[in-house]
Structure 1
Amino acid sequence: MGVFSALTTAVSGMQAQSYALENISGNIANSRTAGFKRVDTTFSDLVPDSALNRQISGSVAAYSQSTNSIQGDLTATRIDTNAAINGDGFFVVDQRTTGLGSNTQFANTNLYTRRGDFDFDANGYLVNGAGYYLKGLKIDTVTGQLIGTQPEVLRITKEQFPAKATTSIEYRANIPAVPGTNNATAGTPGSELLSPTGFTSNPLSTTEGGTGVVIGSDLTRFLSQTIPGGSVTVYDALGKATSVELRWGKTVNAAPAVAADPAAIPPVVGSAATVDTWNLFVAENTGATGAVPAYRNANTSITFGSTGQLETPANGNILLPEMTIGGTLISSAANPINLTTGGNGVTQNGDVSGQIDARSIRQDGYTAGTLDRTSVSATGQVIGTFSNGQVVALAQLSVARFNADNALKRLDGGAFEETIESGAPIIGLGTSQLIGGNVEQSNTDIADEFSKMIVTQQAYSANTKVITTAQEMLRDVFSIIR
């Protein structure tokens, strides 16, 4: 029976090497397939049960060995919606069954792939080159919170991004201790102040006994006693843009400190204030005449202490007055605009120019816009850039990790499905990160595959040689009876 066993063993060897050659062939064929994971071959000996001193080496069986956990090279594609996973994990995808556009029906099953060459189709779905649709969670563009808990096929359309009315203006500036107004005269204390004297309508804050309005007939006098504070474009609820011009006027100087020798520094007569006081004005109609309002006072006394730090308002927020500019309601009781300073964003320090140094004037409103481009961040967010300059997170890609990546079942198109051996998916990037504009290539090494091919070919030939030898031995046996 030894010769016949040798034949059987040689046949099993040829079958095993054929199986290995088939895997090598598939690896080489997919050496340029994005996200492909090569299949290696492992061999196992089959030893028949026999007495200890009669054991033989036995036949051989071939099995596949997955390399799902081995990452391929990452290649830049310059396509913003492409993404590669640097580390563990798989994109969660689904397959289309029927329908088109918004009526597209999907299999509603979670499949997994490393193939990240996703791009938009005509209906706004992100689909890769193998026809698998990307899944994730939508993000509320207003609150920034995730919508839902289960991954769903992502559809991002180029619908208009709604306008947002301005509610806050972030203001960062240094206001000069001595404003360089047109009326300011060196050596004349108080000449730089905004004084109600000579005004038809007292422009000071209502908290200081004024009307809080600068009318057209007082415009020239007002401009000569105040300094510009910068301008900013704000938006109403419909996205209409309006320029808002700010202007500051100092109304009270703090009394100077009295030295040990009173004769050395004569105190300013008539001033007992301990803080410097300013008023903020907003331009309503710079071309106003007569009794038509030109500027409106914010009606808040803004004071600075001896160190130049803002003291009031204590929270650093200044509510702009209710007003209409160019026919557009800018600030109202229902939709007020807050000028925020952050407490220390506005200071009063010496400045030889006598002008306000506005370091930052930013507001939170914007006009309506459309989606210009999308990209994928390192954390897996789909980021939308809109024509109105807004950059908003639109969705969060779902990335699944497994305790046993190599136990996933392979499907066509570089996809995998969960098995009992692989364990349940763990949703989340973990320590991995996404690299946008890149695609992971096949992890096949051509040189290594050709080396394995040579070894496989030689092993196959050796097994055929065993069969030839066994045939010759059997022929010799049959020749005995002649």
Structure 2
Amino acid sequence: MGIYGAINAAISGLNAQSRALENISGNVANSQTVGFKRLDTTFSDLVSGGGAIQASQVSGTTFATSRATNTIQGDITQSDVSTYLAINGEGYFVVTAADDIVDGGTTFQDTNYYTRGGDFELDEEGYMVNQSGYYLKGFPLDPTTGNATGDVPEVLQVSRQPLAAQQSRTITYQANLPPTPQTNRFVTSSGAAGTDTLETFGGPPVLDATTNIDETYRAAFENSSISGGATTIYNDNGTAISVTLRWAKVPAPAVNTWNLYYASPGDAAGDAYKRVGSVQFDASGAVQTLTAATGATASGTESFTIANITVNGVSTAGPGGAGTTIAFGTNSLTQFATNEGTATSVEVNSDGYAAGEFLGIAVDESGRVNASYSNSQTRALYEIPLATFEAEQNLQRVDGAAFAATSTSGEPDLTGGGSIIANAIELSNADIATEFSKLIITQQAYSANTRIVTSADEMLDSALNMVR
């Protein structure tokens, strides 16, 4: 190869080290870029022509290529922004870029990009866009089943509309009733026979085990019954209705039988409490039969359904007329002996809710985007997929710490990936201290190659001077 070959080798070394310097410079410049993946430099040799064995060959020239570090995760740091997201493990967020503004709304490109830059925030249209201008994509979720409605991710858009009210349909009830209730009537009567049961009057108005409780007999009823708990339900327009329940044990000849009532203040008929129905227990304390009152129906030993609950003039008789069900469930209503004399283990819960204003969104570990509302409700809106590739080192880098798929990277797989961490972002994986260490080596190697050129030049001068 000779002196000219030495100069060529040195020049190739200068070019290679220049490329390494360029990568180092870009890494340092992006050391604070969210989700940035640094580029390292790999050097390869080119063998010059010569003999068939190494003894007759020379080392040849070199060239530099960039080496991706996509698989090397940057540090994850916490953030106060609830929409910031980080990926712990493999995968990329699926994003796209804006295309145009049509009729005041943003349209998007058909091309998908992939990024680990998770500094997303909601814009004025409800899209989640990161600081590089990429819009997050996700699978829409069915509001009823919570399952994804398709297999192609869409640009994620969060509606800030209020959540409509939902009428209560079910009151889930659990309680244990004492065989001998310690009512005010029982205590003041020194436990005389039968005084633990409902006090009745001939009327008019009539108070017996089959009627509602007229306002006239409110005090007598409350003194001969026990509290059964309370809950809040909602009618079709979201108006809250406070439902207070009471139990009264039925007098003889009934055995182990109780009446269930709900308070109905302000009732047009003058009733203080409406009778829901009666429950008869067997000797073991389990529910044997349910018998519904007028305006209600019973379903086996599991529930009462009341056609219309009205409290202070507010009614549940909304669209559909399905009524409100008080559901006991299996073994949730019992009559076991206790030392309390009151209803124990009482749990009263109801579905339904009032209308709520949009408060914000949060993302859980499964990647679901959940909207929260002022009525304490949450709604799962989207599921964020993570894209993985068979050869992610072959992804094409594009502006904004993002990548595009190529023919050698493989198609994106949206079924795997790591986990999503909310209120966090992944920092650049470029470390300044490491880059400066590489910079020192690169600078010295570049200087050494220049010395080769200088030495070769001096040797050529010496050869030329031989003919003088």
Aligned length: 454
* Contact 1:204–1:279, Cα closer than 8 Å, also in 2: no
Please state if 1:215 is matched with 2:214: yes
What's the TM-score once normalised by structure 1's chain length?
Answer: 0.89
1:205-284 aligned within 5 A: 210=210, 212-251=211-250, 273=255, 276-284=256-264
Please state if 1:303 is matched with 2:280: yes
Residue by residue over 1:434-478, the C-alpha shift from the partner in whole angstroms, topping out at 9 and shown as x without a partner, is 110000000112221111111111111111111011001100111
1:90-239 aligned within 5 A: 90-99=92-101, 103-184=105-186, 185-194=189-198, 196-200=200-204, 210=210, 212-239=211-238
Please state if 1:394 is matched with 2:374: no
Letter in 1 for 2:406: T
Aligned with residue 355 of structure 2, among 368, 377, 381? 368
Letter in 2 for 1:440: E
Paired position in structure 2 for 1:60: 62
Q: Cα distance 1:429–1:177, how it changes in 2: closer, same or farther (>3 A)?
A: farther
Give the deviation of 1:204 after TM superposition: 5.8
Aligned with residue 314 of structure 2, among 325, 328, 341? 328
Mapped partners of 2:203, 2:173: distance in 1: 29
Paired position in structure 2 for 1:422: 409
Please state if 1:409 is matched with 2:367: no
Unaligned runs of 5+ in 2: 291-299
* Contact 2:367–2:419, Cα closer than 8 Å, also in 1: yes
Letter in 2 for 1:385: S
Mapped partners of 1:375, 1:459: distance in 2: 51
Give the deviation of 1:195 after TM superposition: 5.3
* Contact 2:396–2:405, Cα closer than 8 Å, also in 1: yes
Give the deviation of 1:321 after TM superposition: 5.0
Give the deviation of 1:173 after TM superposition: 2.2
Letter in 2 for 1:435: I
Q: Cα distance 1:321–1:334, how it changes in 2: closer, same or farther (>3 A)?
A: closer
* Contact 1:316–1:342, Cα closer than 8 Å, also in 2: yes
Q: Cα distance 1:440–1:326, how it changes in 2: closer, same or farther (>3 A)?
A: same
Mapped partners of 1:117, 1:438: distance in 2: 8
Please state if 1:433 is matched with 2:432: no
Q: Cα distance 1:312–1:450, how it changes in 2: closer, same or farther (>3 A)?
A: farther
Give the deviation of 1:203 after TM superposition: 5.5
Give the deviation of 1:303 after TM superposition: 2.4
Mapped partners of 1:366, 1:165: distance in 2: 7
Q: Cα distance 1:46–1:202, how it changes in 2: closer, same or farther (>3 A)?
A: farther
Equivalent position SS for 1:279: strand
Give the deviation of 1:312 after TM superposition: 3.6
Paired position in structure 2 for 1:260: none
Mapped partners of 1:148, 1:480: distance in 2: 82
Give the deviation of 1:186 after TM superposition: 3.8
Aligned with residue 90 of structure 2, among 80, 88, 91? 88
Letter in 1 for 2:386: V
CA RMSD of aligned residues (A): 2.2
Residue by residue over 1:315-367, the C-alpha shift from the partner in whole angstroms, topping out at 9 and shown as x without a partner, is 53222353422222225781311112222222323344422235322111111
Residue by residue over 1:277-335, the C-alpha shift from the partner in whole angstroms, topping out at 9 and shown as x without a partner, is 111111222x569x623322113x31223333334455532223534222222257813
* Contact 2:207–2:217, Cα closer than 8 Å, also in 1: no
Letter in 1 for 2:225: T
Mapped partners of 2:4, 2:301: distance in 1: 97
Give the deviation of 1:394 after TM superposition: 1.7
Give the deviation of 1:252 after TM superposition: 5.5
* Contact 1:183–1:192, Cα closer than 8 Å, also in 2: yes
Paired position in structure 1 for 2:341: 354
Q: Cα distance 1:187–1:283, how it changes in 2: closer, same or farther (>3 A)?
A: closer
Give the deviation of 1:201 after TM superposition: 5.6
